[in-house]
């Protein structure tokens, strides 16, 4: 699985309500490729949603979709079929990044598989290298997690997809971000919860806690850890740094908690914008010339640009640029904190090369608290 970009970058509830109306009759699928739709600019509408095989029931319900064959990419990524509707032709495949979990990677390289089999501890150390924070790499646990997902979806023809919250339905790679529900044994199962309960993925709070299923995920993980299942036991080689990894994620989750608490006040929210939320970033169009506070995660630093730029994750494959014209300001920034924490950036909204940007004038205007 590719690392998801900070949080869930998804569409607004208005578009989803429109989907509920359209899906009752023939529908046209989005023209964008399955894992990389055209990224909306701030203030413009998001790509048309995928057409489900059955209509949604609420603003958070994306509808029922047929599974592709094969359906499982890895334990937290599956593929569904998007009906072409009135346009005709063959259904296309849509990648779905399962919300609430972050399973270990499967092996994509034969040499990695060999090194892991020979000496997993040395292999894990080598894959982490000099990184200050935990990294992702192929493991036997990742392979077992995918095998669990394959068994879980065996014989399943359709799944129901739901959003975590209104306004966000794509990650930074353009994949659909959704909770996956399956009818089995006479009841409906939340796949991510079952994956966590089985011990093949931790509850993933790196980009914030689930606003819908936090208690269920916490309980499922506690059960798996108490029973030493999967990654919480010694039966299969897995990441050796879960305590560090979970503490890192928890620190970031608390940053999200603090942002949400702060922006409950309408007076504060008026000039505070959370990147990755199309409905929120659309407000930037009316904020030209005003100082705002942005909240988001660093994608990368472009020091060779003129001026230098901090690129923050926003729409799929379309980061938001924070310009840093003063080299002394750039040098004063804590690179480790930039890479591992959420950022609050205060600056003035302007336009450069047809895109909205914010200029960072002082190092004190960037916080990783």
pLDDT tens digits for 61-116? 999 999 999 999 999 999 999 987 777 788 999 999 999 999 999 999 999 999 99
* Domain 13-250 listed as CATH 3.30.750.24: no
* More confidently predicted of 31 and 225: 225
| Cβ–Cβ < 8 Å for 185, 194 | no
Strand extents, DSSP E, 269-333 = 272-274, 291-302, 308-315, 318-324
What confidence tens digit (pLDDT) does each residue in 207-226 have? Answer: 999 999 999 999 999 999 99
| Phi-psi region at 362: left, alpha or beta (left = phi > 0; alpha = psi -120 to 50) | beta
The predicted model gives 251-265 an average pLDDT of 97
Whether residue 22 is predicted with pLDDT greater than 50 in this model: the reply is no
Tell me, what's the pLDDT at 38? 31
Give domain limits for the chain: 13-250, 263-367
Mean pLDDT, range 350-364, rounded to an integer: 95
Residue where the block lists tokens 């979990």: 101
Is the pLDDT at 199 greater than 50, yes or no? yes
Lowest pLDDT segment from 137-151, 162-176, 179-193, 335-349: 162-176
Is residue 70 packed enough to be buried (19+ CB in 10 Å), middle (13-18) or exposed (0-12)?
A: exposed
Distance CA 348, CA 39 (A): 23
Q: Is residue 48 very low, low, confident or very high in pLDDT (cuts 50, 70, 90)?
A: very low
**What is the arithmetic mean of pLDDT over 113-142?**
98
Distances 342 to 7, 47, 226, 253, 257 between C-alpha atoms, Å? 11, 27, 31, 9, 11
Lowest mean pLDDT among 180-189, 242-251, 310-319: 310-319
Share of the chain above pLDDT 70, in %: 84
Please give the angle made by the CA atoms of 145, 147 and 152, to the nearest 5 degrees: 95
Asked which of 171-175, 194-198, 211-215 is least confident by mean pLDDT, the reply is: 171-175
In this predicted structure, what is the pLDDT of residue 7? Answer: 40
Number of Cβ atoms within 10 Å of the Cβ of 68:
20
Domains 13-250 and 263-367 alike in fold: yes
Comparing CA positions, the residue from 94, 127, 80 lying closest to residue 108 is 127
Segment 353-369 mean pLDDT: 95
Which residues have a Cβ under 8 Å from the Cβ of 236 and sit 6 or more positions away?
A: 140, 141, 144, 230
* Band of pLDDT at residue 56, cut at 50, 70 and 90: low
Give the pLDDT band (50/70/90) at residue 343. Answer: very high
Mean pLDDT of the chain: 87
- Range with lowest mean pLDDT among 29-38, 83-92, 122-131, 279-288: 29-38
Domain 263-367's class? mainly beta
Of residues 47 and 233, more confidently modeled: 233
Cα–Cα distance, 321 to 269 (Å, whole number) = 21
Q: How many other β-carbons are positioned within 10 Å of the β-carbon of residue 294?
A: 24
Written as one string, the DSSP assignment of 16-31 is: HHHHHHHTTS--PPPS
């Amino acid at each position: 699985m590719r690392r998801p970009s900070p949080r869930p970058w998804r569409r607004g509830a208005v578009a989803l309500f429109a989907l509920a109306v359209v899906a009752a009759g023939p529908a046209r699928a989005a023209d964008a490729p399955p894992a990389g739709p055209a990224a909306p600019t701030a203030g413009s509408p998001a790509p048309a949603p995928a057409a489900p095989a059955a209509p949604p029931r609420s603003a958070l319900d994306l509808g029922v979709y047929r599974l592709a064959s094969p359906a499982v990419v890895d334990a937290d990524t599956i593929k569904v079929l998007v009906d072409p509707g009135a346009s005709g032709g063959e259904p296309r495949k849509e990648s779905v990044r399962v919300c609430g979990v972050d399973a270990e990677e499967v092996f994509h390289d034969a040499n990695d598989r060999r090194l892991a089999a020979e000496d997993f501890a040395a292999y894990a150390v080598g894959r982490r290298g000099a990184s200050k924070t935990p990294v992702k790499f192929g493991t036997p646990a990742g392979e077992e997690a995918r095998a669990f997902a394959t068994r879980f979806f065996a014989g399943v023809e359709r799944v129901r997809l739901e959003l975590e919250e209104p306004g966000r339905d794509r990650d930074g790679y353009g994949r659909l971000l959704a909770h996956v529900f399956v009818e089995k044994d006479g009841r409906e199962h939340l796949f991510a919860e079952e994956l966590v309960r089985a011990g093949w993925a931790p509850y993933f709070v790196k980009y914030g806690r689930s606003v819908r299923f936090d208690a269920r995920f916490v309980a499922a993980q506690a059960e798996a850890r108490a029973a030493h299942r999967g990654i919480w036991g010694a039966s299969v080689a897995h990441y050796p740094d879960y305590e560090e990894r979970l503490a890192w994620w928890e620190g970031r989750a608390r940053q999200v908690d603090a942002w949400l608490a702060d922006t409950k006040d309408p007076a504060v929210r008026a000039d505070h914008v959370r990147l990755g939320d199309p409905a929120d970033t659309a407000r930037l169009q009316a904020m030209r010339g005003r100082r705002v506070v942005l909240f988001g995660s660093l994608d990368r630093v472009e020091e060779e640009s003129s001026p230098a730029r901090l690129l923050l994750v926003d729409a799929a494959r379309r980061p938001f640029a924070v310009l840093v014209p003063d080299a002394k300001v750039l040098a004063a920034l804590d690179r480790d904190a930039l890479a591992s924490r959420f950022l609050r950036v205060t600056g003035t909204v302007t336009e450069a090369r047809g895109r909205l940007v914010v200029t960072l004038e002082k190092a004190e205007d960037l916080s990783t608290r």
